[in-house]
């Protein structure tokens, strides 16, 4: 039914913004940073909000990665810590920021745990004292296995970190070598058990499927390890090949053969997905499976709900005071106004990431009086085996539907665009 798969929420956002003309609007020029500061001088709105902190350094670069990261070898990480602390102090001066507490903090990268336990602790303490965090604030830190020794785990949990996201990617020896992961599978499994033993919070790992040469047996093996290890949640992603990554360059030159088809991708997705579901895991969002009740993933829920995101660090992006903000480097920030129509659709798209389709609720989010167009689209996807109706007048994604979830969400939402714009401009 689809010729191209939107592999991520970012892909879906891009396509939706394109359909709405919001991308063209965003390229018409930024705004003065004085406008942003004026907005931050006002009071904050109600609703949950979060903080994103970016650490763009790694001591080992994954072969597939094209994120905003750099080799941290020889980098003065204390200077970068001081920069993050200065950014926190800068934003903390504004009533919009310090007027209400934040409900989630997410340290992404790069590899945030390339910083020492003391450096990370000081950052969290500054957030708590200068900006304000709720008593039950969800604090997530991404890490690799080799950057998280037992002593650092103790320091992090003592300072409020209650959620870890570890980049394992695969337990296959050949896969780990291809993706440039540190250690073989036996050592990785040992370290996972050690970290879990010293940490009482939510414990999740990342898994990549459909990488070059991966067999179905390797997919099944990864699912089996995930089910038997003490893991609360698994984020699972089809490999996205970026031209600028090491692996992307090897594929482009023919050094690495990669002839993946959509059918092969779907088969590997469903093998992993169905195995995890059989093991008691449930769908939290399109690329995340969790044990029941173990992971709220509050940070992503806030972002999907159009909540404010305070961006800290070089490469961090967020949204405050009606502006999208991107910190390019120390001393360099860009901002653009939030497109109101796109924001409405972005919120609806975010709700659809959780695999439940409620026509009346989506229509309400979009400001439509009639959900018939939405329901018509959903029935079409029922016929294709991607959605199944439930007893409460909603629909849920099937295994194939989860695979195509971003495509389905975009198609359902774009079917209402002309109708929605007519209503808005009536």
Q: Based on the fold, state whether residues 226 and 86 are members of the same structural domain.
A: yes
Task: Note whether 273 and 207 are within 8 A (CB).
Answer: no
Which pLDDT band holds residue 245 (cuts at 50, 70, 90)?
Answer: confident
Which of these three, 304, 336, 367, is where a domain ends?
304
Over the stretch 10-21, which tens digit does the pLDDT of each residue have? 999 999 998 888
For the chain, the domain total comes to 2
CATH code: domain of residue 424 = 1.10.10
Q: Based on the fold, state whether residues 153 and 16 are members of the same structural domain.
A: no
pTM: 0.93
Q: Based on the fold, state whether residues 175 and 97 are members of the same structural domain.
A: yes
Largest CA distance in the chain: 63
**Model pLDDT, residue 393:** 87
**Alpha carbon distance 356, 285 (integer Å):** 9
> If you average pLDDT over residues 68-73, what whole number do you get?
57
Q: Based on the fold, state whether residues 80 and 194 are members of the same structural domain.
A: yes
Buried b (16+ CB within 10 A) or exposed e, 338-360: bbebbebbbbbbbbbbbbebbbe
CA 233 vs CA 207, 223, 277, 348: distances in Å: 11, 12, 12, 24
CA 234 vs CA 101, 179, 180, 231, 237: distances in Å: 29, 18, 20, 7, 10
The gap from C-alpha 64 to its chain's centroid, in whole angstroms, comes to 17
Q: Based on the fold, state whether residues 179 and 142 are members of the same structural domain.
A: yes
Q: Based on the fold, state whether residues 160 and 214 are members of the same structural domain.
A: yes
CATH code: domain of residue 154 = 3.80.30.20
**What secondary structure does DSSP assign to 395-411, as a single string?**
EEE-HHHHHTHHHHHHH
Which of these three, 276, 304, 332, is where a domain ends?
304
Give the burial class of 140: count Cβ atoms within 10 A of its Cβ; 0-12 exposed, 13-18 middle, 19 or more buried.
buried
Q: At what angle do helices 185-197 and 150-158 cross, to 10 degrees?
A: 40
Q: Is 223 within the bounds of a domain?
A: yes
First to last CA, the chain: 35
Q: Which domain holds residue 399?
A: 1-28+355-426
Which of these three, 304, 330, 363, is where a domain ends?
304
**Model pLDDT, residue 21:** 83
The gap from C-alpha 58 to its chain's centroid, in whole angstroms, comes to 19
Task: Please determine, for residue 351, whether its predicted confidence score (pLDDT) is greater than 70.
Answer: yes
Over the stretch 292-336, which tens digit does the pLDDT of each residue have? 999 999 999 999 999 999 999 999 999 999 999 999 888 899 999
Would you give the DSSP letter of residue 41?
T
Q: Based on the fold, state whether residues 36 and 135 are members of the same structural domain.
A: yes
Over the stretch 160-204, which tens digit does the pLDDT of each residue have? 999 999 999 999 999 999 998 889 999 999 999 999 999 999 999
Q: Is 316 within the bounds of a domain?
A: no
């Amino acid at each position: 039914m689809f010729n191209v798969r939107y592999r991520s929420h970012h892909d879906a956002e891009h396509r939706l913004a394109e359909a709405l003309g919001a991308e063209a609007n965003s390229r018409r020029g930024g705004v003065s940073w004085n406008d942003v500061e004026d907005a931050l001088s006002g009071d904050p709105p109600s609703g949950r909000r979060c903080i994103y902190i970016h650490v763009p350094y790694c001591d080992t670069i994954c072969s597939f990665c094209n994120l905003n990261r750099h080799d941290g070898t020889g980098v003065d990480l204390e200077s970068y810590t001081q920069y993050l602390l200065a950014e926190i102090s800068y934003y903390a001066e504004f009533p919009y920021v310090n007027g209400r507490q934040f409900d989630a903090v997410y340290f992404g990268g790069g590899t945030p745990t390339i910083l020492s336990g003391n450096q990370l602790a000081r950052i969290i303490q500054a957030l708590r004292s200068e900006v304000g965090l709720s008593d039950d604030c969800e604090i997530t830190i991404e890490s690799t296995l080799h950057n998280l020794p037992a002593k650092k785990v103790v320091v992090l949990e003592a300072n409020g970190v209650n959620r870890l996201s570890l980049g394992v990617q695969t337990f296959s020896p050949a896969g780990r070598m291809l993706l440039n992961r540190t250690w073989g599978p036996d050592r990785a499994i040992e370290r996972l058990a050690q970290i879990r033993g010293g940490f009482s919070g939510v414990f999740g790992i990342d898994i990549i499927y459909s990488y070059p040469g991966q067999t179905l047996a390797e997919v099944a093996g990864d699912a089996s390890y995930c089910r038997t290890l003490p893991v609360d949640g698994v984020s699972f992603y089809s490999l996205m090949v970026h031209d600028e990554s090491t692996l992307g360059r090897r594929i482009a030159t023919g050094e690495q053969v990669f002839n993946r088809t959509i059918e092969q991708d779907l088969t590997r997705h469903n093998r992993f997905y169905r195995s995890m579901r059989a093991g008691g895991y449930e769908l939290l969002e399109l690329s995340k499976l969790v044990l029941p009740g173990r992971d709220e993933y509050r940070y992503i829920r806030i972002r999907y709900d159009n909540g404010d995101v305070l961006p800290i660090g070089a490469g961090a992006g967020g949204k405050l005071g009606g502006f999208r903000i991107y910190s390019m480097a120390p001393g360099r920030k860009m901002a653009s106004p939030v497109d109101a129509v796109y924001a409405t659709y972005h919120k609806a798209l975010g709700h659809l990431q959780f695999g439940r389709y409620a026509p009346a609720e989506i229509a309400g989010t979009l400001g439509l009086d009639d959900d018939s167009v939405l329901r018509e689209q959903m029935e079409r996807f029922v016929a294709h085996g991607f959605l199944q109706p439930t007893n409460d007048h909603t629909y849920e994604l099937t295994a194939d539907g989860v695979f195509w979830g971003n495509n389905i969400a975009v198609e359902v939402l774009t079917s209402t665009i002309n109708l929605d714009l007519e209503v808005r401009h009536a």
